Amino acid sequence: MSRASELRELRNTFDRFSVWILLRTVGIAVLHHHLDPVRQSSVEELRSITDCLQRNLLHVVHGSKEIADLLLSAEVPLEQQCVGQLNHWTPILAAIERKDWPLVDRLLAKGAKLSPRQAKLHPMPVSELEELVCDCIAENCTTLIVWVLENRPDYRITQQNVYTLSVYEEFDADLLFRLLTLAEEQGLTGRDPYRYIFDNSALDNAVEDERFELANFLVERLHFEATDAFNELRQQYEQNPQFNDYKRLHSLCRDGAFAMVRQMIEEKCLDAQQEYDGSNIFIQAASSGNLELVQYLCETHGFHARIDDRDEHGFTAMRQAMVQGHQPIVLFLRKHNATVNPSWMQQSSNVSAVDDSEIDTEDFLALIACDRERLARLSIDYNRYEGGELLLHCYIRYVDEPDDDIFRFLLAQYDNVDIRTDVSSELRCGETPLHLAYQSGNKRCREILLASGADIYAKSLRHGLTTLHFAVMGSAEKEIIEQLLDVYGFDVNTRDERGRTISFYMPVKSKLYHWLIERYQFDPCAADNNGQTVLHHRVIKNSFFARAEIEFLLQTLQVPQSHTDARGRLPLHYAVEADNCPIVRLLLKYRQDLCNVPDSKGLTVVQIAQHLPHDSATGNLFRLLHK
């Protein structure tokens, strides 16, 4: 076996756990990044696990900083060597072999040793070292970077390193300027002038993030060319020397660091109401979830008078608290008369802007914004109809992302999973919850209802609409319709009690029509019990989109205009009678030979047009056509 083959075999051997260690729950957890089993293991167990190749858990941990920290806290041996077959690797050498730099960084910080004779870092080519340093900057591996600086004096800071430093704002500030100073001392400017990377420069990044100290260093000491944006940022700093302090203050408020915020305001004499980046610290504090901080700013720094102030995005403190799910802050702001926008309740189903006593239990929109626990506490009449709907129906129609627990709780309030809407209401047709789930495209509610035994073949009490009709009304995707046809056996040409097929309810989707026609022999021209086709209906309905819908039927589907209904009327009769000149022109565009076809009363469209008012556009059109 060649030396290269032998090394490959050694690596493969190293990457395979022995049977012994695989049988250990902790070993499997470490291998698969399962944190809980490791956290629940005793310190003694973590230290003692060793396989037949003398590897401990630090040899095999990879890609998980949390697990690595647990193992290091347990003081798993750092210098334990594998057997000679694996080159006597210690955990840090194994990590270097895998290029797991965050683990190498942690091991170095813990005191792991690296001898020049063993470590690959000593002879590593400079090109690879540049990539390593960039990776370390991205991962904030400061100990490993310091090791490189101290043990590889031949390494020169590159523009790629500088650019990476400008990208990662979280990188250690002291080490950042140590690296930049070293770059200056090493003559970076003459050796490798600044350049654009990914269409911008390190200076552009620094200015964008308002990191003035970094940007100024790049211009003054590394000779980056000052940009207009940099000059504008410098002017801001000159006008407000505490600009960076306010930036820091806003960051602390976002993090909810109450003690540090109070200390900074008091020690640096900062104006708490000073805005930064289009916002104020009160809005930032509300999004952090720290109620104590919000109370402090409201009561000590006058934000009670600015309770409804908005940031540059139009967000208020109340909006941020609701969307982030911070119920205590929401209630605190309400006590200070903060305004609540109803749309925020839809974005934050896990919080409420009111106490239980303030909730109107007859307001369905307020109730569907409550969590399961609050619904259980409230005295709600679940059998009360509002607009023909029960609370269950309302939830299905209005909640785009339903919560399983809430929906199951609502469903459990009814003895019948197919409980219907109120057929006596003009707004509803006696639909089942499943009908509404298909019509509103509510996938999760649909799944739960079917699993709970909902009758997919039930029809609405008014008009006898099927589930297929409701799915089409809701512009269901092809896969849903395909399931209803192929799995549940619905007939594509099924009719409701008025004789209407799904064509009467379908949106204008040519691909869907053609797919149904080609695969299922769908008849888009079928007439209803009154003999009217979908073309009749679109003309009579005359919706806002009528022109586009009718042209689609005529041009794409070629629905015949010559079909007469039970009154002997063409679609053209109805368009002329309604004096709908744009639709009349559209119908005549495709068929001009139907003007003298009489209906069952003997009236042609020309005769109907003659009886229209003298100033009628349709009447004038026919007078011009039939001079």
Per-residue three-class SS string for 139-194: HCCHHHHHHHHHHCCCCCCCHHHHHHHHHCCCCCHHHHHHHHHHHHHCCHHHHCCC
**134-173 tens-digit pLDDT:** 999 999 999 999 999 999 999 999 999 999 999 998 899 8
Note whether 243 and 237 are within 8 A (CB): yes
Distance CA(68)–CA(103), nearest Å, equals: 7
**88-108 tens-digit pLDDT:** 889 999 999 999 999 999 999
Name the CA radius of gyration of the chain, rounded.
Answer: 36
- Look at residue 348 in the predicted model and tell me its pLDDT: 63
Nearest to 31 by CA among 51, 52, 60, 58: 60
Q: Which residue has the tokens 């209005």?
A: 398
Residue 385 CA to its chain's centroid (Å):
34
pLDDT band of 63, cuts 50, 70, 90? confident
**The domain at 243-347 falls in which architecture?**
Alpha Horseshoe (1.25)
| 526-627 carries CATH number 1.25.40.20 | yes
Contacts of 441 (CB under 8 A, 6+ apart): 474, 475, 476
- Look at residue 413 in the predicted model and tell me its pLDDT: 96
Note whether 403 and 395 are within 8 A (CB): no
Contacts of 258 (CB under 8 A, 6+ apart): 290, 292, 293, 296
Look up residue 226 and give its DSSP letter: P
Of the listed ranges 141-145, 363-367, 419-423, 521-525, the least confidently predicted one is 363-367
| b/e map 32-61, b = 16+ CB within 10 Å | eeeeebbeebeeeebbebbbebbbbbbbbb
Q: What is the mean pLDDT of the chain?
A: 89
Nearest to 226 by CA among 84, 610, 235: 235
> What is the rounded average pLDDT of the residues 268-288?
90
Distance CA(260)–CA(287), nearest Å, equals: 17
**514-529 tens-digit pLDDT:** 999 999 999 999 999 9
Contacts of 244 (CB under 8 A, 6+ apart): 212, 213, 237
Contacts of 468 (CB under 8 A, 6+ apart): 481, 484, 485, 490, 492, 494, 502
Long-range contacts, stretch 337-346, CB < 8 angstroms, 24+ apart: 337/307, 338/307, 338/308, 339/308, 344/318, 344/319, 345/369, 346/398, 346/399, 346/400
| pTM, to two decimals | 0.50
When the candidates are 3.40.50.300, 1.25.40.20, 2.60.120.380, 1.10.10.10, the CATH number that belongs to 1-121 is 1.25.40.20
Q: How many other C-beta atoms lie within 10 A of the C-beta of residue 350?
A: 13
What's the number of CA atoms in the CB half-sphere (13 Å) around residue 578?
17
- Look at residue 347 in the predicted model and tell me its pLDDT: 63
> What is the rounded average pLDDT of the residues 481-494?
97
Asked whether the predicted pLDDT for residue 340 surpasses 70, the reply is yes
- Look at residue 623 in the predicted model and tell me its pLDDT: 84
